A and B are shown apart, each in its own frame.
Chain A
């Protein structure tokens, strides 16, 4: 069966450390993958997009990797801050029609 998995348990990280979130998928042929941030009671906000032929993408303190062999994307936040606390969603675009398939999200908590 096709599915996208993100860590269902909340991730607790000490302020200043690097937070790493995982997005695994099975039986999909992806065109690209996106990461979004969602705060409570708000809509998701786009962060980064990485294409299937790209290994790594960076934006300020954010870094995303995409390994189509392992069928996995890693999302890193360096020098984490309490303001980074939120739920992070990954969304995979299928190469057949670019339809987005969403993970359930991982809740990240950065402790001061």
Chain B
């Protein structure tokens, strides 16, 4: 079974530029999450989708971050304009269960460096 796919693995941009990350969850997983993980910290939830609807985006900085999950499968996370403090690993995860009662399957992450 294929795992959660993310791209790109690494991205370096200047501040105020834009960047987009892509995620393809495990087939059949209804729930998709985007997390931000800063070095030395645990993952912080940015947004959670249930199929193509948003369940929780309370910690998403909506002035610069946006995310969508068209057709309830793939998802993209965009940052525009980027700030230095956005340097982090962006993790995508998916889960099979419709409620939050199961394990999460993570991708390898996309490491963003903002200069």
Contacts and interface: CB of A to CB of B under 8 A. Distances in A.
Interface of A: 4, 31-32, 34, 36, 41-46, 49, 89, 91, 93, 97-100, 102-105
Interface of B: 4, 40-45, 56, 91, 93, 99-109, 111
B104 A46 contact: yes
Given A97-B100, A99-B56, A100-B100, A43 B45 contact: no
B93 to A, nearest CB: 7
A99 B100 contact: yes
Contact of A43 (B56, B91, B102, B103): B91
A34 B102 CA distance: 9
Chain A interface secondary structure, helix, strand, loop or mixed? strand
Nearest to B6: A43
A105 B42 contact: yes
Given A98-B100, A100-B100, A43 B93 contact: yes
Contacts of A4: 42
A44 B44 contact: no
What 8 pairs across the A-B complex have the smallest Cβ distances?
A: A43-B106, A98-B100, A102-B42, A46-B103, A104-B42, A102-B43, A44-B106, A104-B41
